[in-house]
Structure formats: C-alpha cells, structure tokens
A = this chain, B = another copy of it.
Amino acid sequence: MENTSQTFEQTERTTLTRSLKRGTYDKQTIYDILDESLVCHVSYVQNGQPFMIPISYGRMDDKLYIHGSVGSHFFRELAKGIDVCICITLLDGLILARSTFHHSVNYRSVVIFGKTELVTDEEERWKALECFTEHIIPGRWNDARQPNASEMKKTMVISIPLEEASAKVRTGGVNDDEEDMDLNVWAGVLPLKLVPQLPEPDAALDSSIVLPDYIKNYNNSVKIV
C-alpha cells in the first residue's frame, strides 16, 4: 500500500521516547537528510548478535539503495531479505553552553527500519547505479564511462523501502540554566561543515583535460540528487 501522505506513519519502532520536540516523520525533512549525506550505517542481526557496516547509498523516491559485490558475504546476507536498521547522521555544529551539562551538538539524523530486497529488474538496477553516481556528485553519470555488462553482473543492488522512518533534528543555540547565565564563560555555537578541498588530479591524467564545472562548483550542502 503506497503512502501518499507528506509524513511517514509512526510505528512502535519509530516512536521517539526522548526529546520528542526534535523528532519528525515529515517526508521532505527525511529526504533532504538522505540526499545530503553520503554514508549510511546498516545494522542487522546474525545469530542474535548486532552487526554494522558503513556504506554509501542512493535514494530514488520511496526507496533507499545500496550496492556491493555479488561475492560479498554481507550482500549475500542482504539478498535473503533480512531486517535492517539504517541510520544516517549529519553533524552541523558544537553547542558550547556555559555548563558542561548542556553541551551538545547540532545534528540531523534519520533512522529507517525495513526489510532488504534484492533488485533483479535490469532497468531498476541501471537506474540505481546512476543514482549512486549522481548522489556522490551530480553530473558525473553522463561524464564518466558507464557500467558495462561484466560490471553489471558483478554488482548486487539491494533496496530498502522507505516506509518506517523518522528524523531527529537539533538546531539553534545553547540552552543554559537561568542561574548560569551570568557566568564568565563564552557560550554559543561552533558550526561545522563538510567542505570540499582542492581537487587532486590523477597523476596519469592528460593535462589537456580540464576540471569539469560540476566538480569545481561541488557543494555537498546544496546537492540535489
């Protein structure tokens, strides 16, 4: 059943028990976090034990996609259709309160619960690969050499439906106690940002090949997938 509403349905697993005002089920908020971050953490259970792997991903509509080698033990587990919990976290700043107790960080995080699905449809697999590349850096798919048949065969694509998801977001400044407001301590926010540095061309790169605009102007924070 497709969820056409603006928010994800709240379930027992996604119901927040702390800091309720930071939580949201708003789809656009969740999609924006997924589209900005580049790494997700996937946890799963094996023999009753928790396991976790950090991995890059892509999003298309109401699905999250990850890919890996068909020879990977982890991906062969995922192909069976197992329960996963996926978390994506963006760190936005340090909250330097007057008291150490109220120190915190500004962040935007998403938690997703779902069952993995092996993607077998060749068109969906192809689109997922385009999505991974464009998620890393928009504009790259039509510039770089696209996958050939052998590479497609070596690649497993897994999807996770975005049905059970929630976000938690802390923004704003310090929240000190009234009695600490007169302390002689600097208080405020130190914002943090993932910033691209100078591109480092491959040593073997033909010097006539210029840096494309989509790399020159890369800005992770305003990336549109």
Contacts and interface: CB of A to CB of B under 8 A. Distances in A.
Interface of A: 13, 17-18, 38-39, 41, 43-45, 48-54, 56, 69, 71-74, 83-87, 89, 91, 93-94, 96-101, 103, 105, 107, 109, 111, 113, 129, 132-133, 136-137, 140-141, 143-148, 151, 155, 173-174, 176, 180-206, 209-212, 215, 218, 220
Number of this chain's copies in the complex: 2
A191 B186 contact: no
Consensus secondary structure, chain A interface: mixed
A49 B86 CA distance: 12
Contacts of A96: 136-137, 140, 144, 215
Contacts of A71: 18
A113 B211 CA distance: 43
Contacts of A101: 145, 147-148, 151, 155
